Structures are given as structure tokens and as C-alpha cells.
Amino acid sequence: MKSHKPQSSQMNSTEAADDLRAKFDSGITSTINFRNEISIEIKLEQSFEILSYCKDNLGFDYLVDITAVDNMGKDPRYEVVYEIYSYQHGCHLRLKTGISESEREAISVVDLWPTANWHEREAYDMLGVTFKGHPDMRRILMWEGYPYYPLRKDFPLAGKASKMPDVAFSEPVPLDGGPFVTSPCSAPTDKREPRSREFLP
């Protein structure tokens, strides 16, 4: 007698998005398919429940990244973006939730994906968005006591004086031409980055 091993059903990103809309219709504000990448906008108050469902019921076991965006001039100003992936199904989803200027607080998903710890700290460090329930909400790149959030759109590319000369830069860092523009030459990278330009021939 032959044994029939059941085949594991595969789910793609579109099917996952359809499942979410059926389950959380009131918590989803829009779904966009751009070049076969699905982006789902979800309400902040239901974000943890929806993300938990993605992990526990849809098999999105890998948190690729959490980022934050400053949409200065819009309301809500901030947006937290979750990139999640399912190894079981081989598909990816992007979920976004808006954060108001007055609140600037999302809900931590460290309990779902422990690697969210550092991602959420970076979003706080760079944009000032905090995460309710995070076990260690402190800076991860800048030093404690640094008064600014460098990835906000109102932060100048030239930097700001820190007023902490014993810790780091005491004067704005010159970044003429943009923070990631290098000089075209055969010199090593450390000689091509913006702060080194004045030393190039």
C-alpha cells in the first residue's frame, strides 16, 4: 500500500493580503500592488493584532526589517514600515502604519520577532518614534543625551552643533552635495567621502 504524503499548500503575497482583508477589513485602510510587491496600510491600534496574525496564522516567520519614514507636511507625519517574509511560502509582505506628530508612538513587536529590538531602537534613534512595550527603548547609534533625530526631514544635511565637544562633533559636519555623494577619483573610499573632499586635488 502506498502512503500518500499530503502536499504543503503554498500561499503567495496576494493570497496573504486577501486573507488579511477578510480577517481585518476594518483595520486595513488600503492595499497596493506595485510591481508584484504588496504593501498594506494598517491602522495603528490594530497593528499588533494584524502582525501577530501574519506570524502565527500566515507563516511570516522572518522579520526582514522595520523602518520609519518622515512624511513632513502630511498627517500623520510618520510611518512605520514592516517588511516580513515567509520561508514556508517564499513570499513577502510590506505593512505600514501611520504615527501622528503628537503621539510618535507605535506598538512594539519584540514579543513576536525578537530581532525587532534593534530595528525599533534605530527608528527611535533616527526619527524619535518610540515603541510601546519595548524592553529597552534607548538610542542605538547616537549617544545618550543627543538632542536631535538625524533622519527627520527638518534636520539639515550639514548637521547641527552638538554642544557636547567631549563626546563627538562640536561643529556641524560639512556635507556639501548631499550625505552620500562621493568624489569620482581613484582614491580609496575614506578619501572620497564628503568630509575629505577639500583634501582632494
Over residues 39-63, the pLDDT tens digits come to: 999 999 999 999 999 999 999 999 9
Decide: 92 and 173 in contact? Cβ < 8 Å: no
- The rounded distance, in Å, linking the Cα atoms of 129 and 77 is 11
Residue 2 is predicted with a pLDDT of 44
pLDDT tens-digit series, residues 160-178? 766 665 555 555 555 544 5
Task: Report DSSP state, residue 125.
Answer: H
Decide: 129 and 80 in contact? Cβ < 8 Å: yes
Residue 197 is predicted with a pLDDT of 47
- The rounded distance, in Å, linking the Cα atoms of 86 and 80 is 20
Residue 183 is predicted with a pLDDT of 58
Decide: 178 and 156 in contact? Cβ < 8 Å: no
Residue 184 is predicted with a pLDDT of 62
Portions of the chain given CATH number 3.30.460.80: 13-151
Residue 109 is predicted with a pLDDT of 98
Homologous superfamily, domain 13-151: NADH:ubiquinone oxidoreductase Nqo5 subunit (3.30.460.80)
- In DSSP terms, 80 is beta-bridged to 68, 97
Which ranges of the chain have pLDDT less than 70?
1-8, 161-185, 187-201
Residue 76 is predicted with a pLDDT of 95
Residue 11 is predicted with a pLDDT of 93
